[in-house]
Amino acid sequence: MEIETIKSLIRNTAASRTAFNERYDEALRYYQAQNAITDRTNGASKLVKDGKSEPLRRADNRVSSNFYQLLVDQEAGYLTTTAPTIDVGEDSLNQKVKEVLGDDFALTMTNLAIDASNAGRGWLHYWIDEDGNFRYAIVPPNQCTPIYSTELDNKLLGMLRSYRKLDPDTGKYYIVHEYWNHTSATFYKQVSMNPLDLEPLNIITTYDASAGFETGLGSSYEHGMGRVPFIAFNKNKMLLSELHKVKGLIDAYDDIYNGFLNDLDDVQQVVLVLKNYGGTDLHQFMSDLKQNKAIKLNTVGSGDQSGVDTLQIDIPVEARNTALQLTKTNIFLQAQGVDPANFESSNASGVAIKMLYSHLELKASTTEAQFRRGLSQLVRAILHYLGVADADSRPITQTWTRTRVEDDLSRAQVVATVANFTSRKALAKANPIVTDWQQELKDQEEEKQADPFAGGDASLFSSNSQDEQDQGNQDQQDNAAEPGGDKDRDRS
């Protein structure tokens, strides 16, 4: 891309980029428990017992609640702690895809879910490294400015990535602007505070293909991906942060809670009101009160009002407790989360547990629907890397597993009930003690080959019913016809 074109792109997207970064930064502050209540204390929760000059109102405590971080991590853990299982129709190809995704796949999905909750959308970048290996990594949302087509398919046409980089020679930071399209990537360096003051950043080694040696450094290269190598993982249709649901409620909770703390500190401050005190020195008054337990007062006869009164703060405890509990309930309700304090019984039934998770499940299901598209794009990019001919059309099955408190006994009973009429693949996926259903099927095959008479179909699900045998035979035929499906199924 020409340097004038990139300048125009930066100029035209500046306003939207600034507005987005402000919203994202605010969400990050709340995620780090730096709520609005801590604005005067530089984001730190502090107890300030003598922060005001008012006689009765001296305490100015500023302690932020951590509801937002709890809600974001709750959904991320619920949805992505167990990485989605990918099935592309061939066991050998599944293993290759799994190897490319690597050991950190689950962690990457969790971090993408957190980014999407804070920014409305997370970004994943993939590339081929110098050793020819497929690599991918998360890009912070505030570094990304996507360029989409105006067509109905909303295709990603390019990505402007802007970030700070340390110059090891000078020890100073500078801004790098990268622009990626479906064929190439170009790199620029910002040489002043003006974002339009750019020069090419020569960091790409160039080669003379005919001579077979390096010719120097350039500022662009052909990445050969055939598409923009960035994948969006959207949180919702409107690309809204989760903070917008609960910011007002969290601020209200912090206000009530800190007001309560202030009152508890201020109630210890007692102001004495002296009427017709017989002395002139308040220090003498305090000394007499401490040593003699008595003070001198002047009286003026009948109707005299001489004496000592006290001014104290009354705390509306019941009203504050009600407001705190109501606000807390609304926070979890509006954010579609699960209040950990509601786990009062360890003997809850499977149905009761599902009802407890119902709001979180609705939110997680919406996030999953958005993430499925991005994950399919990543898998297809891997298939292209592996040289699969039908990478763009091959069916991809994703199996997402929720991480939650569950009644495993109820699930096991359901699996046992339908075992006679269900494929081994489905049973392996539903088995509550199985974490990797593909490995479970392999283990079953190995055990069956080692000892054909130990726990096979006949020993587990034997029956003399001809109808059930016919049904089992039909199931085997149907399963064998499925591309990449299991060839063996449990039958009666």
> pLDDT digits over 155-201, tens only?
999 999 999 999 988 899 999 999 999 999 999 999 999 999 999 99
pLDDT of residue 485: 43
Confidence band, pLDDT 50/70/90 cuts, at residue 235: very high
Asked whether the predicted pLDDT for residue 337 surpasses 80, the reply is yes
Which comes out higher in pLDDT, residue 462 or 363?
A: 363
Mean pLDDT of all residues in 242-268: 91
Q: Which of 6, 21, 231 is nearest to 137 (CA)?
A: 231
Mean pLDDT of all residues in 413-424: 87
246 within domain boundaries = no
292 within domain boundaries = yes
Q: What is residue 65's three-state secondary structure?
A: coil
Domain boundary among 253, 287, 311: 311
Asked whether the predicted pLDDT for residue 243 surpasses 90, the reply is yes
**Domains in the chain, number:** 2
- CA quadruple 190, 194, 195, 199: dihedral positive or negative? negative
Which comes out higher in pLDDT, residue 219 or 434?
A: 219
124 within domain boundaries = no
414 within domain boundaries = yes
Phi, psi of 310 (to 5 degrees): -120, 145
113 within domain boundaries = no
Mean pLDDT of all residues in 428-435: 83
- In this structure, the dihedral spanned by the alpha carbons of residues 87, 88, 93 and 98, taken in order and rounded to 10 degrees, is -40
Confidence band, pLDDT 50/70/90 cuts, at residue 432: confident
pLDDT of residue 308: 60
Q: What is the rounded average pLDDT for all residues in the chain?
A: 84
Mean pLDDT of all residues in 14-33: 97
Q: Which residues contact 216 (CB under 8 A, 6 or more apart)?
A: 202, 205, 206
Residue 136's CB: how many other CB atoms inside 10 A?
19
Which comes out higher in pLDDT, residue 303 or 46?
A: 46
Asked whether the predicted pLDDT for residue 278 surpasses 80, the reply is no
Asked whether the predicted pLDDT for residue 51 surpasses 60, the reply is yes
Mean pLDDT of all residues in 437-448: 86
Domain boundary among 292, 311, 330: 311
Which comes out higher in pLDDT, residue 477 or 434?
A: 434
pLDDT of residue 277: 59
Q: Considering the chain, what percentage of its residues have pLDDT values greater than 70?
A: 78
Which comes out higher in pLDDT, residue 437 or 394?
A: 394
Asked whether the predicted pLDDT for residue 347 surpasses 80, the reply is no
For residue 469 the two structure tokens come to: 């045998």
Distance CA 43, CA 228 (A): 38
Among 147-151, 420-424, 470-474, whose mean pLDDT is lowest?
470-474
Confidence band, pLDDT 50/70/90 cuts, at residue 481: very low
Asked whether the predicted pLDDT for residue 296 surpasses 50, the reply is yes
Residue type, 273: V
278 within domain boundaries = yes
479 within domain boundaries = yes
Q: Give the number of C-alpha atoms closer than 13 A to the C-alpha of residue 296, restricted to the C-beta side.
A: 9
pLDDT of residue 415: 86
Confidence band, pLDDT 50/70/90 cuts, at residue 429: confident
Per the DSSP assignment, residues forming a β-bridge with 137 are 125
240 within domain boundaries = no
Q: Which of 35, 31, 54, 53 is nearest to 44 (CA)?
A: 35
pLDDT of residue 488: 41
Helix axes 91-101, 358-385, angle to 10 degrees: 100
Range of the domain at 279: 271-311
Cβ(205)–Cβ(220) under 8 Å?
no
Beta strands in 383-468 (DSSP E): 397-399
Confidence band, pLDDT 50/70/90 cuts, at residue 94: very high
For residue 435 the two structure tokens come to: 């974490």
pLDDT of residue 100: 97
Confidence band, pLDDT 50/70/90 cuts, at residue 55: low
Asked whether the predicted pLDDT for residue 214 surpasses 80, the reply is no
pLDDT of residue 475: 52
Asked whether the predicted pLDDT for residue 450 surpasses 50, the reply is yes
pLDDT of residue 273: 55
